[in-house]
Chain A
Amino acid sequence: MTAIVVYIDQLDASGKLSVTATQLLTVARGAGEAVAVVAGGVAPELLNELGAYGVSRVLHSEQAELGQFLVAPKADLVAQAAAAVAASAVLVDNSAAGKEIAARVGVALNAGVITDAVSVSYDGEALVAHKSVLAGSYTVEARATSAVAVISVKAHSVEAAPAAAAVIPAVELVDVAFAPSSLAARVVTRTPRAASGRPELEDARIIVAGGRGVDGDFTPVEELADVLGAAVGASRAATDAGWISHASQVGQTGKKVSPQLYISVGISGAIQQKAGMQTSKLIVAVNKDAESPIFEIADFGIVGDLFKVLPQAVEEIKKRRG
C-alpha cells in the first residue's frame, strides 16, 4: 500500500479536523495508507481524531515561516513530506490556498495536478478525479500520468467515515528547507472576516441569492433564507454596489455552488452568474422581467415583484409551520 498524503492546515483552526479534512482522509484510506501532513501543531485531540480516521503517520512542522508568508512555504512542507514518505498521491482542499499548494507541489514533484474534483474514486491502481468543467456543461474524469498525483478536492466529495479500528499515529517533526522565493510574499496584516451566522455558500442545501433587483435592500432575501435555513448569495451587481460582502458573490469570479435548491431573486442570469450556479439541482427564479434569461434555466419561475412575492412566501411558510 502506498502512502497518500492529506494536507491539514492547523495554523488557523487549531485543534480540530475540518469537515473537508475528514472527507479527504476517508478517500485516502480507501486507496492506500493515509498520511497526514500538518502545518502547525498536533494537539492531543487532533491526534485522536487522526487516529480515528485510520492515519498511521503524521508529519508536521511548526516553523514560523508557514504563517508569515503566503502559501509557498506550506507547499514546500507538503512537497518535502510527500517525498519523504514516497507518496503516490497528495490530496488538498479546494480553497484558493489549497489549489495553489497543489500547483506548487506539482512543480516540485513533477506531478500532474487536478483541481476542483467533486469526487475521487480509486480504480485499484490510481486515483481518478471527477470534475465538472466549462461552467458545468461537461463532467469529466481525469487522472495523473505521473508517479505522484496531486488533487484538490471540493467539499462533500464523500461521506466521511472513521476507520473500522482506530490507530495510534506516529508523529514526526519535519524540518522544512524553504526555497528563498517561498519566503518572499510576506503577510503583513490579517483581518478575520465577520461571520454571518448563516450556512456557508459551499455547504448549504438551499441558497437564496439576490441581485440588482433588490435595489439595496437584502431584507426580503435574508428573511426567506432564514425561514429556509439557507445561505445568502448575490450577483456581482449586488456585491459591487456594496449591498453585501464580496464573499457572498456567486458566479465565475465568486463561489461555484451546486445546492439542492437555488432561489435567484432579482438577478437577470448573465453568463458569469450562471457559471456559478447552473449545476444546482433545482433553480427557482423571481424576476419582474419575463424576458430575463434566468427563466431559460429555471425549474420554477415567477414573473413578479420580489418585494411582494418573497414576503408572501415567508408568511406562508411560517403559517404552515403553525
Chain B
Amino acid sequence: MENSALNIVVLVKYVPDAQFDRHLTGDARTLDRSESILSELDEYALEAALALTDARGGAKAGNVVTALTLGPASAAAAVKKSLQIGATQGLHVTDDALAGSDASATSLALAAAIKTLGPVDLVITGMASTDGETSIIPAQLAARLGLAQITFASSLELDGTTVSARRDGDDFSEEIQATLPALVSVTDQANDPRYPNFKGILAAKKKKVTTVSLADLGLAASDVGLAGSLTRVTAAAERPARTAGTIITDSGDAGIQLVDFLAAQKLI
C-alpha cells in the first residue's frame, strides 16, 4: 500500500485571457469565451499533481494524472497544454447543452466525469477560476464525490496515504490532514509551475484525450446548462473603464501636492 501508484485528476479550465477586455453576452449574460487560455491558477494544481507523481516514479511507475476540462470544443486547448506540461492523459466533457451552466450544474457534470476514471486518489484544483472567481466548485465536488475536502492549500505533502496541507487564513494558519482519497485545492503559494519544454510538446502528441458527451456520463440536457442551473444572472451593466487622471512628475514638492489632492478630496 505504501507509495503505490497514484490516480490523480486535475481540473483545468479554459478561461478568457484577462489581459484582454472580457464581456458578458446574450440574454443569459454568459461569458464570451473567445481569446481563452488555460487558467493560470490551474497550473499550480497541475504542478502539485506532477510533483506528487514524480516522487513516485512518474508515468513509468503507473502513476496517472488526468487533465479534465469541461467546455466547448475549443477548451481542448487547455487539455493539450496540460499534456504538454506533463499530464498523462486528457478527458474533455463537451456538449452544447452545457453552455451557461452555473456552479451547481458544472460540479454535477464534473463529478460524473470523475466517476468514469475509476477509483481516484486525489482530485486537485486551483484555488479559483480566473473568470468566475467563486471558489465553490472544489467544495461542491468534494461534497458530491464524498471526498475529504482540503481547500486553499499553500503547501501539500503526501506520505503513504496521508495527505497534509497548510491553509493560511486571515486569522489562523492551519495544518490539515486527511487519508486518501481527497480533494485538494491549491493556492499560487503552493509551488512554482513548470513550463512545457520541447520534449513535453512532442510527447503530448501521443497522449490520449477522451472526449465525452452528457449522454456518455448518463446525464440529460436538462440536468445542466441554463435548464439545470439553480441561479440566473438577471441584469448586467458594464462599468465605465477607469481613465487616467492628473499625472505629475516630482520636481521636489510632489509629496505636498499629494497632500493637497487628499485635502481637496476631504480624505485628510
Contact status A313-B255, CB under 8 Å: yes
**Cα-based distance from A72 to B143 in the complex (angstroms):** 8
Contact status B146-A180, CB under 8 Å: yes
Taking the complex as formed, is A165 at the interface, i.e. its CB lies under 8 A from any CB of chain B?
Answer: no
Interface residue ranges of A168-199 to B (CB < 8 Å): 179-181, 184-193
Closest chain-A Cβ to B80's Cβ sits at a distance in Å of: 24
Contact status A144-B265, CB under 8 Å: no
Q: Secondary structure at chain B's binding surface: helix, strand, loop or mixed?
A: mixed
Closest chain-B Cβ to A196's Cβ sits at a distance in Å of: 11
Interface string of B243-266 (1 = CB under 8 A from A): 111111110011111110111010
**Cα-based distance from A317 to B259 in the complex (angstroms):** 7
Contact status B255-A95, CB under 8 Å: no
Contact status B18-A316, CB under 8 Å: no
Taking the complex as formed, is B115 at the interface, i.e. its CB lies under 8 A from any CB of chain A?
Answer: no
Interface 9-mer from A40-48, A156-164, A300-308:
A300-308
Closest chain-A Cβ to B110's Cβ sits at a distance in Å of: 12
Interface string of A111-136 (1 = CB under 8 A from B): 11111100000000000100011111
**Cα-based distance from A252 to B44 in the complex (angstroms):** 14
Contact status B234-A142, CB under 8 Å: yes
**Cα-based distance from A296 to B243 in the complex (angstroms):** 6
- B98 surroundings in chain A (CB, below 8 A): none
Contact status A313-B18, CB under 8 Å: no
Contact status B174-A253, CB under 8 Å: no
Which A residue's beta carbon lies closest to that of B235?
Answer: A141
**Cα-based distance from A188 to B151 in the complex (angstroms):** 15
Taking the complex as formed, is A219 at the interface, i.e. its CB lies under 8 A from any CB of chain B?
Answer: no
Q: Secondary structure at chain A's binding surface: helix, strand, loop or mixed?
A: mixed
Contact status B255-A312, CB under 8 Å: yes
**Cα-based distance from A294 to B135 in the complex (angstroms):** 27
Which A residue's beta carbon lies closest to that of B242?
Answer: A297
Interface 9-mer from B61-69, B82-90, B125-133:
B125-133
Contact status B239-A299, CB under 8 Å: no
Contact status A313-B258, CB under 8 Å: yes
- B177 surroundings in chain A (CB, below 8 A): 185-186, 188
Given contacts A112-B102, A189-B174, A304-B249, contact A309 B255 (CB under 8 A): yes
Contact status B139-A104, CB under 8 Å: yes
Interface 9-mer from B2-10, B71-79, B162-170, B199-207:
B162-170
Taking the complex as formed, is A247 at the interface, i.e. its CB lies under 8 A from any CB of chain B?
Answer: yes
Which of B31, B170, B241 has most chain A Cβ within 10 Å? B170
Given contacts A70-B151, A104-B140, A261-B265, contact A146 B18 (CB under 8 A): no
**Cα-based distance from A113 to B154 in the complex (angstroms):** 26
**Cα-based distance from A116 to B136 in the complex (angstroms):** 11
Given contacts A70-B176, A186-B178, A253-B188, contact A139 B136 (CB under 8 A): no
Contact status A304-B250, CB under 8 Å: yes
Which one, A100, A133, A272, A302, contacts B139 given CB within 8 A?
Answer: A100
Contact status A193-B170, CB under 8 Å: yes
Taking the complex as formed, is A246 at the interface, i.e. its CB lies under 8 A from any CB of chain B?
Answer: yes
Contact status B171-A70, CB under 8 Å: no
Interface string of A263-284 (1 = CB under 8 A from B): 0000000011001001100111
Taking the complex as formed, is A87 at the interface, i.e. its CB lies under 8 A from any CB of chain B?
Answer: no
**Cα-based distance from A99 to B236 in the complex (angstroms):** 22
Contact status A145-B151, CB under 8 Å: no
Contact status B261-A300, CB under 8 Å: yes
Contact status B231-A113, CB under 8 Å: yes
Closest chain-B Cβ to A131's Cβ sits at a distance in Å of: 9
Contact status B250-A308, CB under 8 Å: yes
Given contacts A181-B147, A315-B255, contact A70 B167 (CB under 8 A): yes
- B265 surroundings in chain A (CB, below 8 A): 261, 282
Which B residue's beta carbon lies closest to that of A187?
Answer: B174
Residues of B with Cβ closer than 8 Å to A?
A: 18-19, 21-22, 24, 29, 31, 41, 102-104, 107, 127-128, 130-140, 142-144, 146-152, 154, 164, 167-179, 182, 187-189, 229-239, 241-250, 253-259, 261-263, 265, 267-268
Of all A-B residue pairs in the complex, the 9 with the closest CB atoms, nearest first, are A312-B255, A304-B250, A112-B230, A184-B148, A103-B139, A103-B136, A299-B245, A112-B231, A313-B255
Taking A185-B150, A305-B250 as given, write out 19 further A-B residue pairs in contact, using a Cβ cutoff of 8 Å, ordered by the A residue number: A96-B169, A106-B140, A107-B104, A114-B231, A128-B234, A133-B132, A133-B133, A137-B22, A140-B29, A179-B146, A184-B149, A185-B176, A200-B170, A260-B267, A271-B19, A301-B247, A304-B250, A308-B255, A311-B255
